A and B are shown apart, each in its own frame.
Chain A
Amino acid sequence: MENKDVKKLGELSKEYMQFETPEVFTWCGDCGNYGIQNALKRALALEGLGRQDVVFCYDVGCNGNGSDKIEGYTIHGLHGRVLSLAAGCKLANTKQKVIAAAGDGATFSEGPQHLIHAVRNNYPMVFIFHNNENYGLTTGQASALSPCGSHRNGTPGEVTIPPLNPLQFVLSLGATFVARAFSGEVSNLTEVLRDAINHDGFAFVEVLQACPTYNKETPDEWYAARVKDVRELANYDRADIWQARKLVEDVGDDFYLGILYEDKNRVSFMGTQKYRDGVSTELVEEVKHYDISEFLKDL
Chain B
Amino acid sequence: MSRISLKIIGQSGAGLLSVGEIVTQALVEMGFDVVADREYPSLIKGGHSCFVIDFSKEDIFALCGNVDVMVAIDKPSMEAYYKDLKDGGIFIHGYERQFGIKKILEDMEARGCKTVYVPTRETAISVGGNILMQNIVLVGMLWKVLGFDYKFVQEQVEKKFASKPKLLELDLRCLKAGFDAVSEMLEIETPEKGEKKILIDGNHAIALGAVHCGVRAFYAYPMSPSSSILSHLANMASKTKMLVKQAEDEMTAVQMAIGSMYMGTRAFTATSGGGFDLMTESLSLAGIIENPLVIVVAQRPGPGTGLPTWTLQGDLNIAMYSGHGEFPRVVIGVSEPTDCFELIQHAFNLAEVYQTPVILLTEKVICESKYTVERFKQNSIKIERGLVEGDDLLNLKGEDRYSVSSNGVSQRWMPGSSEAYYFANGDEHWERGELTEDAEKAKAMQEKRMKKVGLIKDALPEPIVYGEKDADISFIGWGSSKNVMNDVVLEAAKQGVKVNYLHYSYVMPLKEEAAIKFFKENKKVCLIENNFTGQFGNFIEAETGLKFADRLLKYDGRPFFVNDVLNFIHGK
Q: Is the CB of A84 within 8 A of B259?
A: yes
Nearest CB in chain B: distance from A157 CB, A: 33
Residue of B215, B289, B379 touching A75 (CB-CB under 8 A): B289
Q: Is the CB of A76 within 8 A of B426?
A: yes
A88 to B219, CA, bound (A): 9
Q: Is the CB of A23 within 8 A of B434?
A: yes
Known: A275-B241, A287-B383, A299-B200. A52 touches B419 (CB 8 A): yes
Task: Output the nearest chain B residue to A55 by Cβ-Cβ distance.
Answer: B415
Q: Does B229 lie at the interface of the complex (its beta carbon under 8 Å from any beta carbon of A)?
A: no
Residues of A within 8 A of B137 (CB): none
Q: Does B262 lie at the interface of the complex (its beta carbon under 8 Å from any beta carbon of A)?
A: yes
Q: Does B148 lie at the interface of the complex (its beta carbon under 8 Å from any beta carbon of A)?
A: no
Q: Is the CB of A75 within 8 A of B264?
A: no
Q: Does B43 lie at the interface of the complex (its beta carbon under 8 Å from any beta carbon of A)?
A: no
Q: Is the CB of B379 within 8 A of A96?
A: no
Task: Output the nearest chain B residue to A90 by Cβ-Cβ distance.
Answer: B259
Residues of A within 8 A of B266 (CB): 287
What class of interface size applies to chain B in its complex with A? Answer: 35 or more
Which of B260, B376, B378, B385 has the most A CB atoms < 10 Å from its CB? B260
Task: Output the nearest chain A residue to B238 by Cβ-Cβ distance.
Answer: A275
Q: Is the CB of A295 within 8 A of B236?
A: yes
Q: Does A294 lie at the interface of the complex (its beta carbon under 8 Å from any beta carbon of B)?
A: yes
Which of A51, A52, A289 has the most B CB atoms < 10 Å from its CB? A289
Q: Which of A2-10, A109-117, A144-152, A238-246 contacts B (4 or more CB under 8 A)?
A: A109-117
Residues of B within 8 A of A89 (CB): 259-260, 262-263, 415
Residues of B within 8 A of A57 (CB): 259
Residues of A within 8 A of B418 (CB): 52
0/1 per residue, B258-270, Cβ < 8 Å to A? Answer: 1111111111000
Residue of A117, A284, A292 touching B252 (CB-CB under 8 A): A117
Q: Which of A66-74, A200-208, A216-224, A249-257 contacts B (4 or more CB under 8 A)?
A: A66-74
Q: Is the CB of A289 within 8 A of B421?
A: no
Known: A287-B216, A290-B240, A292-B212. A76 touches B416 (CB 8 A): no
Task: Output the nearest chain B residue to A84 by Cβ-Cβ distance.
Answer: B255
Q: Is the CB of B216 within 8 A of A68?
A: no
0/1 per residue, B202-227, Cβ < 8 Å to A? Answer: 00000010011111110100000000
Known: A68-B435, A96-B415, A292-B211. A88 touches B255 (CB 8 A): yes
Task: Output the nearest chain B residue to A71 by Cβ-Cβ distance.
Answer: B421
Q: Does A234 lie at the interface of the complex (its beta carbon under 8 Å from any beta carbon of B)?
A: no
Residues of B within 8 A of A91 (CB): 217, 243, 245, 256, 259-260
Nearest CB in chain B: distance from A123 CB, A: 10
Nearest CB in chain A: distance from B522 CB, A: 38
Q: Is the CB of B212 within 8 A of A75?
A: no
A103 to B417, CA, bound (A): 30
Q: Is the CB of B416 within 8 A of A287?
A: no
Q: Is the CB of B376 within 8 A of A292?
A: yes
Chain A contacts with B in 86-123, Cβ cutoff 8 A: 86-93, 95-96, 111, 113-114, 116-117
0/1 per residue, A265-297, Cβ < 8 Å to B? Answer: 000000001011001001110111111111110
Q: Does B414 lie at the interface of the complex (its beta carbon under 8 Å from any beta carbon of A)?
A: yes
Q: Does A1 lie at the interface of the complex (its beta carbon under 8 Å from any beta carbon of B)?
A: no
Q: Does B12 lie at the interface of the complex (its beta carbon under 8 Å from any beta carbon of A)?
A: no
Q: Does B281 lie at the interface of the complex (its beta carbon under 8 Å from any beta carbon of A)?
A: yes
A286 to B242, CA, bound (A): 9
Nearest CB in chain A: distance from B325 CB, A: 13
Nearest CB in chain B: distance from A250 CB, A: 31
Q: Does B548 lie at the interface of the complex (its beta carbon under 8 Å from any beta carbon of A)?
A: no
Q: Does A77 lie at the interface of the complex (its beta carbon under 8 Å from any beta carbon of B)?
A: yes
Which of A77, A81, A288 has the most B CB atoms < 10 Å from its CB? A77
Task: Output the nearest chain B residue to A276 by Cβ-Cβ distance.
Answer: B241
Chain B contacts with A in 107-122, Cβ cutoff 8 A: none
Q: Does A188 lie at the interface of the complex (its beta carbon under 8 Å from any beta carbon of B)?
A: no
Chain B contacts with A in 407-431, Cβ cutoff 8 A: 414-419, 421-427, 429
Task: Output the nearest chain A residue to B210 by Cβ-Cβ distance.
Answer: A290
Task: Output the nearest chain A residue to B251 by Cβ-Cβ distance.
Answer: A81
Q: Does B433 lie at the interface of the complex (its beta carbon under 8 Å from any beta carbon of A)?
A: yes
Q: Does A65 lie at the interface of the complex (its beta carbon under 8 Å from any beta carbon of B)?
A: yes
Q: Does B199 lie at the interface of the complex (its beta carbon under 8 Å from any beta carbon of A)?
A: yes
Known: A92-B265, A289-B213. A76 touches B423 (CB 8 A): yes
Task: Output the nearest chain A residue to B253 by Cβ-Cβ distance.
Answer: A84
Q: Does A192 lie at the interface of the complex (its beta carbon under 8 Å from any beta carbon of B)?
A: no
Known: A55-B415, A85-B255, A276-B243. A296 touches B421 (CB 8 A): no
Q: Is the CB of A284 within 8 A of B264?
A: yes
Residues of B within 8 A of A95 (CB): 416
Residues of A within 8 A of B383 (CB): 287-289
Known: A91-B256, A114-B248. A287 touches B425 (CB 8 A): no
Known: A75-B289, A299-B198. A290 touches B214 (CB 8 A): yes
**Closest 10 CB pairs between A and B?**
A88-B259, A88-B256, A84-B255, A92-B263, A73-B415, A92-B260, A287-B214, A299-B198, A89-B259, A283-B265
8 contacts between A and B (CB under 8 A): A52-B416, A73-B423, A78-B285, A84-B251, A91-B243, A91-B256, A289-B214, A292-B212
